[in-house]
Each structure stands twice: as C-alpha cells, then as structure tokens.
Structure 1
C-alpha cells in the first residue's frame, strides 16, 4: 500500500478485508509505512499519518509508537497539527506514562495563547488526561482563565478545574472564589460549568459546603428564571428550557440543603413550583421531576412537599416506559421506611406492577410490596402475593410473611431472611398459623434455601404451637415430636442445603430440646454428629451445643418451665414478684412439668399465697393478691424418675416472704450428683416502695438419700 494513501482509502481497505488475517495484513503494512514517515525529519503529512494511526488504535491494534509524534505535533505552531496532536495525546497518553510529562510545558504555553481555540485544546487535554503533577503545575493558569472575559474559555476552564479538584483535593480552595463569581454569568455553558465545579467542591470539603450555602438564593433565582422563561431556541429541549442545567442545579441544591433547615426553607417554594409546572408527558420533563423528587426527599422539606414528591413517583408508576417505573419503585423503596403512610397510598399501583412483563420491574415491585406489609393490611396483601405466586416464573417465586415467603433462587437479598423473621416475630397473633404453613412448605420443598431458613427458625421458636395441633387460621396438622425432628434432620442431610441453612436447622433442633422431653437423646445424637463437620461454623455450633448439654444437663427438666410464658408468670406471681397483671393468668403447665394443684385453696396455682378470689377480675382491674393467712399448702411442682419437688410459702411480714422448696427421693437407691439451685433477682414488692433483695441459696449433694429443704 502506498504511503500517500489517504485515511478514507485505508478505512475502505480495512473494511473490505474478508478475514481477520487479511485485516491484520493491511494494518501491519500501513503501520510500517507510518513508522517510516515518522522517522523523516521534515514530514508534511504528519497530521495525516497520525490520524490514520488513531483509527488503527480505535480498532484495538497497538499504536504506542505514535506517542512521541503526538508530543512533537503539540509543540507545532500550526493549528491543524496541534489539533491532531492534542487528540492523539488524549487517546494514546495517560498520566502513568512518562511521555505525558513532556507536554506539560506545551500546554502551559498554549493556555496563554492568543487564539481561544488553541487555549480550548490545551484545556480539554488537561481535563482529560492531566496527572496530579500536571494539575499542581497548571492550576494557577486555570484559575486565571476562570476570571477571563471570554465565556467560551471560562466554560472550558470550569470543567478543567473539576478534573483538577478530583485529582488534587487541596487545590479546591484555589478555585472557590472564582467559582462563586461565575454564578452571575448569563451564559448557560458557563453556569453549567460553575454549578458542576461548586458541586465537586462541596462534596469534598465540609467547610466549603458551609460557605456555598450562602449561594442558595442565587441558585434559586437562576432556577426560577429557567422554569418561567419562555421559548428559547438555543436552550429548549422538548418544551423544557435547558433541562441539563436544571438537573445540575437541583443536584447542587440537594447537597446544600441536606441537614440544614435554613437552606431547605429557602428552596421549598422553588421545588414546589418546579414539581407543579414541569410537563410530565415528555422524558425530558420526567428527568427534571425525578431530580426534584430526590432533592425534596433528601433535604429538610415540608411534609406537604414530601407528599407531593411521593405522588410524583406514584404517577411515574403509571408511565408506559418501564425504565421510569423501575426508577420510581427504586426511589419508593428508599423512602418507605421514613414516609411509610405516603407510600401506602400507592399500594394498589405497586401491586399492579407485579403483573409487568419485565422481570426487573417485577422484582422491584415485589420488594416494595413486601416492605408495605403491615399488621393492618397483611391479609389483603397476602392474597395479592399468593395470586402473584400462582403465575410468576420460578426465578421470581416469592413468598412473604405468615406462611408466604419469596425465594427467587439464589438471588434473594441477604437482608430478606432477617427482615421476614422480624416481621413474623411482631405478628404474635399469627405465630401458630405461620409455623403450620412453613412446616408444610418445608415438607413439600427444601430446595428454596431462604424459605427453609425461615421455616427452621419458626419451628425452633414456635415448635410447641406446632406440636399442640391447634390453629384457628388453618387446618392444624397432627405433628409428633419425631415428625418435627425428621423434617429438620432431612434439611441437615440434604445436599441442597447450604451451610447457612444447616446452621438454622441445627439451632432449631437445639431449641426443641426445651420443648421436647421424650426425644432429648435423639436431639443430642443429631447435634453430636456435627461436632466433626468440615464446615467450621457448623462444627463450632455443634461443639457449643454439646457443651451446653454436658454442663447444664441437670437443669434441662427445669428449662421447660421458662419455655412457656404463662407458667413463667405464674411462678413469678407465686413468689410474690408480680404486684398486678393486666389480665387474669390461667395455669398452663409446660411440657414435662407436673403441677399438682389439688391441695391448693380453690384449686388454682395463683392461690398459693392465699385468699385469691376464684372469679377473674373485670377488664382494666388490677389483679392483686389479698393474703388472709400467713401459710399456704404445699404444692408439688415436679415429679419424675423418683425425684419430687414441692413448694410452700409462708408470709413472715408485709415485706418478708419465706419460700421453701423440698426435694425428696422416693426410690430405694441413692441418687448421685444432685444439684439444686434457686435464684431470684431484686424486685420492687407491691406492698412497699422499697427495693428488697431475696437471698439466694444453692445446695449440692453428692447423694440424695433423704428429704432436703431449702
């Protein structure tokens, strides 16, 4: 190929190549000719050759040998060669190469050139590839150009200053005064550059941010001028006056008004005006409205203005453009925690987005719908989510609280499981329904890991409700202790279970040891297996749980007392720890705890302190115990394997209550390693305002062969 072939001919030859090998041959021949001409001292076609080399570079072929030619052409007095040389420097050079330092002096000379277009070339190159060293050396020149009279140069200098601030943050103070003065310019290009520069300065320096908060009135006036201005052919885009400048100003106002009430008040009226007067039928108008909404939600705006912003996002949900619907739901997701009621007004529209054909929109709608679930709408929301479940693809299957939880394969967010567990915990009236539904889901499918994790947690936490077999919300399942342990053991042994899921199942199995008394040995066996697991987390859990079994095995029969809230309250009231209760407490013995109330007055455990009326108090009445005697009958609280524990109380005075716990052995042989512990915290008695401390006594006997009293 002839060295004098023009650029158009080379492009045509490359495009006509039928194979990649043929294309490489054309480029190699042309690069060889370009190298030969670069070596000539006086070459009149240098810009022509460098232009061809830049095209080769854009195709992905090596062009580093043209770097020094760029340096020589930048130093050329001809504008045509300077233009191609600066373009080549921006494409072939970067701050990591030593050759970039060679053009520093040329850029400095061109920044003082009499031709504004030469100055513009130098400014653009410095803004594109200037290193930190170049920025420090040339920053005074850029500050000088920011104060020039030429608007074209000031616009370029402002954008170059942005690059310098990003490279060397300490130089921001140098440009702050000039940036402040640029806000008085009428040229939109200069205003745009000034706003971008001020935004960069405020984001990087808190002191500068405080200083520029004084410019909020000026920015408000500029923005109002753009909103109320008539048709301007130079700046109009689809009926909106300079939307690019409007967006930049709104972003700067968002930074200036954040966490500052005075600055926020100064821009509230403007934001309301922009929100109501901007045309939302065009994409350009929606861009301005979106930035307005973000600004309103990020500053200390008025409540009415925040509602208006949420309503704008609600209108976005009705837009035919899926991208606009997506960003609307993303914004609503961010504010649902702070403006929950305002977002709730658009719940119907959000739920309708679950039917969208786009998978990304569906996912966002699903996340937002789950965030809107509350105690007041949980039933209606679950119906909508169940309907969504019946038609959604497997990768978007979702199931929410109260037996419905979404598990989109492995794409479920990390916070989904704890958030759902928190939601289930707060809905106390649905615990029974939830554990029954999740238990059935666990039996049907254990491939959805997030669903399995929540199911295991609920079984471990509310396993007693599952075993009881009573549920008003759904048909209760007749489940035995072995059935529950079989389900958890299946999860532990499944190859589909992740280590995190096995951890949930192992912890749930351990929790059941306080609710299941006939299968404790099986639970201990299951836990022991994982003491040598290859997974460190599971191994640590198993070892710790086994240690609990060994160290506190003697207390396992009594831990079941604490697993039932009613029994716990009864014991506390028995000891005089409760001066009153908002509702009558009915005896509800924990599994494995034998409460013999035959000898109590009235047959009620709560009557152990004497004089308890047999009828429950009226609603709102304080439940108090009126003692008519100083002693109470003896009550058997535990009786198993020959060990019998009896409890009796004697009132010594208004502030002293003596509780006697008697342990006896009814078998023929002695019992070894018997330990009896009793601990009562400091409480405030209802009979006096003084804090009284109960004494704590611990008795340990190596062999229990007679009655022991504490």
Structure 2
C-alpha cells in the first residue's frame, strides 16, 4: 500500500468513472483488511485512517472504522489521540450508539494533565454533543471553568459549555455565573476567553424558549447587568490603542466585535424593558463605530455589517437608520463581490423601513444591474423593484429595459423574471402617461419577447386594445408591423415569438383601420399571415393567433384573391395533428362561409377589457362605443362549447386568451362532463387579509399567518398559503411545544394553481406566546416532484 499522497494522485489521474471506482474500491478493501490485523504498527494504522478520511470526503462508506477511531483515542500517544479525535468528529455524529464508548475516554481526557489533550476532548465533546453526553460530562467542563487559569482551556471550555446548553437547557443554571466571573477588562483576559463568554451568553439567551424553570428572570437580569462590560470592551477595541496581536486589516479583532454586537442585540430583543436604560449609550456607541471604522477592508466590513443589523433589528433612532443605509451604500460602491451581495440582500429587508434613505443611493443599485456576477445582478433586480414607486417608475423602467438589452442567453431566467414584473407594473401603478407606457411595453416586447408568457402577452394586448388615443395607437401598431415587414431600421430575432403573436393580433384587430388609412396594402397583411403560417406550422400558439387573424381580416377585405388566400390558410389546418388547431380550423371554416352581416356582427371590434381582480370578483367588460353589448357573448358562444348560455358577465381577459387558443387548461370542460367546480375556484381565489404578516417565502409558495382571536389560554390561528406555481397533494403538518396543545382544522384546498390561495385553521391551547413549527409537503412541476418546506413562526402575543 502506498502513501496517502500517491492514493490521491491515483484517484485524480483516473480517466473514467469506472477506473476511479475500481481504484477506490480496491483501496477500501485493503484498508479494511489491514485494520483487522492486530500486529499492524501504529504508524501504518494512522496512515490507513488518513486514507479513510479521504474516502469519507469522496462519499464512500467508512462505518467499518468507527471502532478503530475509539482505539486510537484510547492510546496514550498524542499522535494517535489527535488523529482519533479528528476521525471521530468527522466520521461520527450525535446519533451514533458508539458514542457511549466515548464517555469514559472523554471523562479521562478532560482531566488529563496535558492541556492539549484536554483541548482535544473539549473540541470533540462540543462537536459530537448529545443530550446524554451533556448530562454525563458537564461537571468536568464546569470544573475546568472553575479552577483552570489557562486562557487556552477556558476559551475552549466556555464554547463547549455553550454547546452543552444547546443540548440541555437545564444547564443554563449551572454555567450562567461564569459569564460575569470571566467578563473582566481586556487587560486581564484574552480575547479568546471573551469570545467564549459571548458564545455562552448567546446560548443562555436562545435557551429561554425551552428552559422550564421559574428562575430565568434572575438569570436574564444577571446577563443584562453585563451589558456595560460589553460596551466597555467595544469602546476599548475601537477608540483606544489595542494590542497589535489582535489586528486584522487595521481592525481590532473583528471576530470578537461581531460576537459582542450580536450578543447585545439578543439581550435587547429578549429584554426590551430591562435594557431601555442602555439604549442611548448603544445609539452613541453604534454611531461612533459606524463613522470611525475604515470601510476599505473586509474586516471592517464585518463589524459595520453587524452594526447595521443591530440598528434595524432593534428599530433604533431614525438618524441611525439613515446612517445604516449609508453604510450599505458604501458597500455597493466597493469592488468586493461578497460585500456587494451582502449589502444588496440587507437593503432588500431595509426598504420597507427606510424607503427614502434607500432611494438616495439608486445610482449604486443601478450600477449593480450591470455587474458580471449573476447573483449580484439578481439581487439588484429585486431591489430595483422594491424601491420602485410612482415618482421613479419611468427612470427605473428605462434602466431595466437597458439591462434587458445586455442580458445573455445564460440570464434567461432572470430576464423572464424582470419582464413578468415590469409588464405587471403598468397595470399596478395606473400610469397617467398612457403613451409612454405603451412605448415602453413595445420596447420590452422587441428586446425579450421570447421570454414573455402568454398571460403577460395578454396584458400587452389589453393595453393596446384599451389605449384611448387612437392616433397614437395606430402609430404604435404601425411601428410593430413596420418591424415585422422589415420596413424600418429596427429588427427582432426569429426566436421572438411574442412579437410575432402581437403582430398577427394587430393585423386581425386593426386591419380595416390600416387599410382605410392606406398605410399597408391588403396583399402585405395577407402575405405576412401566410408567411407566419408556413414558418411556424408546428407552433400551435402562433398558428392559433394566425387563424383568428385570418378569419377577422377576411371580413375586412374586398380583394377576392386575398380572401381566398386567407381561406386556404384556415382550410390548411382541417387535418392538423393538434386537436385544438384542427377544431379551431373547422369552426373558423364554418364562420368563413357565413353571410357578410353575420360575420360582421361576430367578428367586430373587441370591447375595452378589465382584468379580473385577484380577489375573484369578475367585473363586466366595458363595451366599446358603437358596439352592441351582447357581441362578446355571441362570439364566445359560437367559438367555445363550454360557454355558459345564461351568463350575464364574463372575464374579458380570459375571453381574449380563449379566442386565441391560449386559455388556461383549468377552463376546459372536464372529461366527466360535470362542468367546472366554481365553488372550489372561488375558494382557491380567497383574499389574504392585509393584517396577515408573511411568515415564510419560497419559490413555490408563500405563507401568511393571522391571529384571528385570542384569550388567556386559547389562540385561534389562520394560516394562508399563496401558490407561486402549480401545487397538488398539499399537506400541512404542525407542532407546538409540550406545554401546549394543537388542534388542526381542515385544509380548504390541496390543489392550487399559480396565484391561488388556501386556508388552514388551527387552535392552540396553553399559556405563553404560541410558537409553531410548520412542515408543508406538496407535488409540483412536470414530471411531478415532491417537495418539503419547513419553518418556525412565533407570535408576539
């Protein structure tokens, strides 16, 4: 057997996966055989364990060497102990039954005269901590804290005590006195010990939820009394000369400063009333740190970032919030990509609290849109949408449009995200400048029309259809068709299907206006539809639009040869392999042969449309001036077998999609012939209350929680789930602490389409603030993938 170095070289030199597999398997078998040899020298035994750790890194099975790790730990040779403890920390975890064999060895080593052996035992205990080990060995750790004067061991023991408290919260009572006893001035205690004190304090604070005894207020008060010491340490490290030993890039021990700031934040959050008297001093301290730190080095960035988190987590003074935003803006102007990403991510959470302060640094955010790093671009896009409002929408839309021009094929998903949100903004903000909105939409369509979904294309068509300035509308349509007919200097790619769809729709809707104004010849309009029919004969989306445009244009032409060409376009799909296109072609062929007056009534101008609100209310479409109110109903009745004959209202946006063959599948008639479940649809489109805060967010769904009612010992909770993608087989599991009881109601819906909502009711019985652990399982995607999301949520009341 060769050395570890030669083994690694052999694995890396393998040219195929099979060759690598063969090398690894043979070496693993050799190691297994050698470890069984009782007469194997210790040096070779250690070499085999080294190889075994490398195999573990490769993902191979190493369970057969677990006992060998214990044997190395039992050795008196320090080299064996060091390797044995390292292997145990890597190969084992807290759930292994073999850990029971470690108890006596750890107990012996925690009392060993060699400080380095004790250090190994403390590190291993902290890494492999289990509740059983915590209960058996906490006294040894306490003994080190009580009697040792070695800062090296005290630092390790304090950090190990923090891990002990995490596993067994009842140990808070044992270890919290050492926070004050070890928290002395910087001249008498090393920074390692102070770092351990901070970790111990954090563990004691976070253990409050699980601590079952009544003396926690006394423990908390004792920790609050340590705040002046924390302040003094921070002040000494920032405003007085410090030991060069702790200098990191011109900052005094940023690791300790970050931990102290985090500890202070936890104390202020846990005990707002007890810490109120220290708030002014905290404001002054954070102001000095944020203004005096050198922002050019990464070490200073870490301290400044923790200051900003503290400012916004504790909702400190307005001036401090503005200062925090300015610090993040400085991060954006730097060159370090990690710092930029952290700043953008933090600003996303800060915008709701300080929108105006973030707005002032828009130029830095816009600059990040064009950063080569995709993660920075993604966060910059999200932040741009977050700061967008009525006053800056035009400037930001122009910047996002410029961003879309520079997107590459690798940024397809990001471009799709941007387009989907941009088009929705025009409707959301109800812009008074209709001309600018229409021009901006056309520019977006020209740049990335291939990334626009059918739903957003429907929004664009509605925007064009509802434009009130007829002259400007014709100008926009002429620009679209000039590009399509190659009559202008502008051009679009052949992959821009969205542009082709809109062009075909404009020809069908406004062909008569274009012909009457002598803008185009009838042969040009007809020829373009024939070209689309030939080039995209396999694309059912475009063909559906082309067939509708051909039918509507035929009622507006007088040229017999052009009418016959349009008839052939429609007739050519009578035997199409796509059933939807074939059905549409046959139906349109029947309409084509109707008398002129009936065709005019059916194929008249589309009315003004109003999109259906998310709440589920469907307002009636506003009829266009000069058209009969029943025309939309007549058209749908002829073209859609499932149209309800006695309905008096209609969803206009859905009607538009249905005419062009792009209506969502949920509107189709079920195979069992029983029609749509309108009650279930209304239920899935329920509105999420505005006072229900967001509790969890993911790519597939968002969760909102609302406390519906509350008395002394019972809370009625409503959980609302909003789907961002198609979801089915949704299941909700919930748990509360042992002192409370949870009753789950029925889930209103287990299958959700995008943008639909469902409700889950819960009743929590017991005293204290309710805290829930929610687990959601569901299927999504095609083919279906099972996903699981889990989160914790705590109510303030």
Identify the TM-score tier after normalising by the shorter chain.
0.5 to 0.7
Please say if 1:167 is aligned against 2:143: no
- Decide whether aligned partners of structure 1 residues 157 and 520 sit closer, same or farther in structure 2, where only a CA change above 3 A counts: same
1:106 counterpart residue number: 105
Deviation readout 1:389-441 (Å, 9 max, x if unpaired): 333335557xxxxxxxxx7355569xx75x97477334352467647865897
Matches within 5 A, 1:133-282: 133-150=132-149, 151-184=151-184, 186-205=189-208, 210-211=220-221, 212-258=223-269, 260=272, 261-282=276-297
Partners of 2:474 and 2:375 in 1: CA distance:
34
Q: What is the SS of the residue equivalent to 2:88?
A: helix
Q: Which of these residues, 50, 55, 70, is aligned with residue 54 of structure 1?
A: 50
Instruction: Indicate if the aligned counterparts of 1:74 and 1:106 stay in contact, CA closer than 8 A.
Output: yes
What is the SS of the residue equivalent to 1:141? helix
Q: Is residue 88 of structure 1 aligned with residue 79 of structure 2?
A: no
2:400 to 385, 390, 398: 385
Shift of 1:546: 12
Contact 2:251–2:299 at 8 Å: present in 1 too?
yes
Provide the C-alpha distance between the structure 1 equivalents of 2:446 and 2:244, rounded to a whole number of angstroms. 68
Q: 1:347 to 1:82 in 2, by over 3 A?
A: closer
Correspondence 1:550-699 to 2 at 5 A: none
Q: Is the 8 A contact 1:363 1:396 kept in 2?
A: no
Change over 3 Å in CA distance of 1:525–1:104 after alignment to 2: farther
| Structure 1 unaligned residues grouped into runs of 5+ | 2-7, 398-406, 496-503, 549-710
Contact 1:108 1:138 in 2 (8 A): yes
Single out whichever of 222-231 and 269-278 deviates more from structure 2.
222-231
Give CA-to-partner distance per residue, 1:466-490, whole Å, 9 cap, x none.
Answer: 3x44587995669999739x9xx96
Match of 1:357 in 2: 372
C-alpha offsets along residues 292-329 of structure 1, whole Å, 9 cap, x if unaligned?
22222222221112111111111112112222222222
- Counterpart for residue 632 of structure 2: 519
2:342 maps to what in 1? 327
Whether the aligned pair in 2 keeps the contact of 1:123 and 1:156 (CA below 8 Å) is yes
SS at match of 2:353: coil
Report the Cα offset of residue 271 of structure 1: 0.7
Deviation per CA, 1:435-471, whole angstroms, max 9, x where unpaired? 7865897799864345x434545766x78833x4458
SS of residue matched to 2:364? helix
Unaligned 5+ residue runs, structure 2? Answer: 210-215, 479-504, 511-528, 530-539, 546-577, 579-608, 645-657, 682-797
Structure 1 residues 279 and 526: alpha-carbon distance in aligned structure 2, compared to 1, 3 A threshold = farther
Give the Cα separation in 2 of the matches to 1:224 and 1:88.
42
Cα drift, residue 106 of structure 1? 1.8
CA distance 1:386–1:439, shift in 2 (3 Å): closer
The answer to whether the Cα contact below 8 Å between 1:492 and 1:506 also exists between their aligned partners in 2 is no
Q: SS at the partner of 1:120?
A: helix
Conserved 8 A contact 1:510-1:523:
no
Q: Could you tell me whether the CA contact under 8 Å between 1:278 and 1:289 is conserved in 2?
A: yes
* Residue of structure 2 equivalent to 1:543: 676
> Structure 1 residues 535 and 263, CA, compared in 2 at 3 Å: closer, same or farther?
farther
Where 2:147 maps in the other structure, the secondary structure is: coil
Preserved contact between residue 139 and residue 164 of structure 1 (Cα < 8 Å): yes
What corresponds to 2:430 in structure 1?
A: 427
CA shift in 2, pair 1:412/1:109, >3 Å: farther
Summarize the Cα distance change of 1:436–1:505 in structure 2 as closer, same or farther, 3 Å threshold. farther
Q: Deviations over 1:321-342 (max 9, x none)?
A: 2222222222222211211111
Cα 1:444/1:10, change in 2 over 3 Å: closer
Aligned partners of 2:388, 2:138: CA distance in 1, in Å? Answer: 55
1:483 to 487, 509, 516: 509
Q: Distance in 1 between matches of 2:83 and 2:294?
A: 43
What whole-Å deviation, never above 9, does each CA across 1:186-209 have from its counterpart, x for those lacking one? Answer: 211111111122223323426679
Q: Residue 291 of structure 1 aligns to a residue in which SS?
A: helix
Q: Which has the larger radius of gyration?
A: 1
Q: Deviations over 1:541-564 (max 9, x none)?
A: 98367999xxxxxxxxxxxxxxxx
Superimposed CA distance per residue, residues 114-150 of structure 1 (whole angstroms, 9 cap, x where no aligned partner): 3322222221111111322212222233233333333
SS in 2 for 1:364: helix
1:119 aligns with 2:232: no
Aligned-residue CA RMSD in angstroms?
4.4
After superposition, the Cα gap between the structure-2 partners of 1:204 and 1:14, relative to the gap in structure 1 and judged at 3 Å, is closer
| TM-score, length basis structure 2 | 0.56
Pair 536,213 (structure 1): closer, same or farther in 2 beyond 3 Å: farther
SS of equivalent residue, structure 1 residue 355: coil
Residues 159 and 200, structure 2, Cα contact 8 Å, conserved in 1? yes
With the length of structure 1 as denominator, give the TM-score of the two structures.
0.62
Contact 1:231-1:239 within 8 A present in 2 as well: no
CA distance in 2, matches of 1:225, 1:471: 72
User: Do the aligned residues in 2 keep the contact of 1:147 with 1:154 (CA within 8 Å)?
Assistant: no
In structure 1, distance between residues paired with 2:52 and 2:304: 43
Post-superposition CA distance 1:208-232 (Å, at most 9, x none): 7954344322211111111123252
User: How far apart, CA to CA, are the structure 2 residues paired with 1:362 and 1:70?
Assistant: 47
Q: Cα gap change, 1:177/1:268 in structure 2, threshold over 3 Å: closer, same or farther? A: same
Distance 1:114 1:96 in 2: 30
Aligned residue runs from structure 1 range 361-440, under 5 A: 361-393=376-408, 396=411, 408-409=414-415, 417=421, 421=424, 424-430=427-433, 434=437, 438=441
In 2, are the aligned partners of 1:409 and 1:448 still within 8 Å (CA)? yes
1:317 pairs with one of 332, 340, 364: 332
CA distance in 1, matches of 2:667, 2:43: 66
- Distance in 1 (CA, whole Å) between partners of 2:299 and 2:265 is 19
List per-residue Cα deviations over 1:14-53 (Å, max 9, x = no partner). 646865578458735752663343x35xx7x336513432
Q: In structure 2, do the counterparts of structure 1 residues 537 and 105 end up closer, same or farther at CA, with 3 Å as the change threshold?
A: farther
| Alignment coverage as a number of residue pairs | 513
Whether contact under 8 Å (1:439, 1:459) holds in the other structure is: no
